[in-house]
Amino acid sequence: MSLANQLRAALERSGARGPVLIEGDMRDAVLEPVSGLTPAAVLVAVTDRAEPGLILTRRTETLRRHAGQVAFPGGRIDPGEDAVAAALREANEELALPPACVELVGPADRYVTVTGFQVTPVIGVVPPDLPLTPSAAEVADWFEVPLAFVLDPAHHLEREVDWQGRRRRYYEIMWNERRIWGATAAMIVNLARRLRDD
């Protein structure tokens, strides 16, 4: 069975955990969809190798939001787009990842950030060693982290920070010198939990 079919079957067997998970709230509770949020999508690009990897970017320091942070390729859903189209477009804009190279698996659980975005992670399998080229305006660089490493709960570290007058909790995953945290880490944790439930 192909990697894409394995992931697709695992997601279907586990079922969605609910409509939306909220960043900063590490309970297993889920909430109904929230109005007034900006729809966004990210591509969870899994490389098709014997030991699959996950493609992540490091945003440039000049961006208004989340400068320098590790992220999935992605962004806002434009009018007339769905989550899949937006995730593929953004990955192409940010990394020159051709949409035709992505074997779609499907969406994972939507995620709400404290900054007001409702994000749909779109999982896709891509060939290994694609010649990706970061967009200088948005992406400082990109890297591939072993999928098994980031899905392992032993690497899901719980942290706390004071933000806008509140104590907020978040996840952090350290891989080599790379700090994966916040919404990106939380979406990985959500996916890991769902795959473990399978």
pLDDT tens for 103-112 read: 999 999 888 8
Taking the CB of residue 60, how many other CB atoms lie within 10 A of it? 16
Per-residue pLDDT band for 167 (boundaries 50, 70, 90) equals confident
Per-residue pLDDT band for 27 (boundaries 50, 70, 90) equals very low
Per-residue pLDDT band for 26 (boundaries 50, 70, 90) equals very low
- Give the tokens for residue 100: 């035709």
Per-residue pLDDT band for 29 (boundaries 50, 70, 90) equals very low
- Give the tokens for residue 101: 């190279």
Higher-confidence residue: 23 or 152? 152
User: For the residues 10-35, what does the mean pLDDT come to?
Assistant: 60
Confidence at residue 12, expressed as pLDDT on a 0 to 100 scale? 86
Total of domains in the chain: 1
The structure's pTM equals 0.88
Tens of pLDDT, residues 133-161: 999 888 989 999 999 999 999 999 988 87
User: For the residues 24-40, what does the mean pLDDT come to?
Assistant: 62
Q: The domain spanning residue 96 has which CATH number?
A: 3.90.79.10
Confidence at residue 159, expressed as pLDDT on a 0 to 100 scale? 87
Percent of the chain with pLDDT over 90: 59
Higher-confidence residue: 196 or 135? 135
Domain that holds residue 7: 3-197
